[in-house]
Amino acid sequence: MGLKVYLNGKLVDKDDAKVSIFDHGLLYGDGVFEGIRSYNRLVFKLKEHIDRLYESAHTIMLKIPLSRVEMIEAIVRTLKANNLSDAYIRAGVTRGVGDLGLDPRKCSMPTVFIITDKIALYHEELYEKGLEVVTVPTHRNSPEAINPRVKSLNYLNSILAKIEAINSGVEEAIMLNFQGYVAECTGDNIFIVKDGRLLTPPPYVGILKGITRDCVIELARHDGIPVSEELLTRHDLFNADESFLTGTAAEIIPVIKIDGRTIGNGKPGKMTSKLRKGFRAITKRDGVRY
């Protein structure tokens, strides 16, 4: 049986999941999305993801034609149709079909799509050995321009930084904000460990307030680890005892080298490993069963 995709209320074959070339999601990246994970038929933090999807849509004045409950039902329906136990879920809403102008009023009906499939963002060995990353010239979008807390379909800012990472021979890039402070990576949030404290940039520097990020902060505090959202510089990163990235697709992945500087002893750290273990545990109990 081929992969089924939810498109505007219907489940269609993957090859038949088509949208108009006049859809403003294609023409202008005008829309929002969420990446969600399921583990052993448990959709992890589904409510939090759905809330963020609707908040993103509200900020860009996009009315999603489904209620939150209906969106959840559509996601579960799509997962069941594809008989997936462990899956990556991409739920998206575009402004819909319009004309070649920018005016969103010309788009009469949003397009809703849900894809459920597999994903492997990084090779498994990198989770054991650690990741090398670089900082890149492309800055994270200013919150006063396109706020990164809106998870929009326009990811060109991240793609340009990703290209710079690839050109440098690594898998991921750290992006700074316009003031030179550490923001986040192209698709992940960043943490460092210093003197037993867990540090991460605050949302106001221009980052997506990641759901995995929030889980890690909650886990750490539950374990009595001091956590702080602080302004970080490259100097702070270079001199960290440990570092790791978080994201729905990436989960928690250690970083062992930044801009050629070895982090700690050059191996995934104890706190990183402990948080990874704790995170795996909560994915088995926190979510919506299907």
Q: Which two tokens stand for residue 259?
A: 């801009």
Phi, psi of 187 (to 5 degrees): -140, 5
Say which of 4, 45, 151, 162 is annotated catalytic.
151
CA distances from 114 to 28, 34, 63, 99, 169 (A): 20, 10, 17, 24, 33
DSSP conformation class of 24: H
Residue 178 has φ and ψ, to the nearest 5°, of: -65, -15
In angstroms, rounded to a whole number, what is the distance separating the alpha carbons of residues 118 and 2? Answer: 14
Residue 252 phi/psi, 5° resolution?
-125, 120
DSSP tag of 68 = H
User: Strand order in 42-44's β-sheet?
Assistant: 10-13, 4-7, 111-117, 87-94, 31-39, 42-44, 287-289
| E strand or H helix that includes residue 10 | strand 10-13
Query: Does the active-site annotation cover 10?
Result: no
* 235-245 burial: b if 16+ Cβ within 10 Å, else e: ebbbebbbbbb
Catalytic site residues? Answer: 151
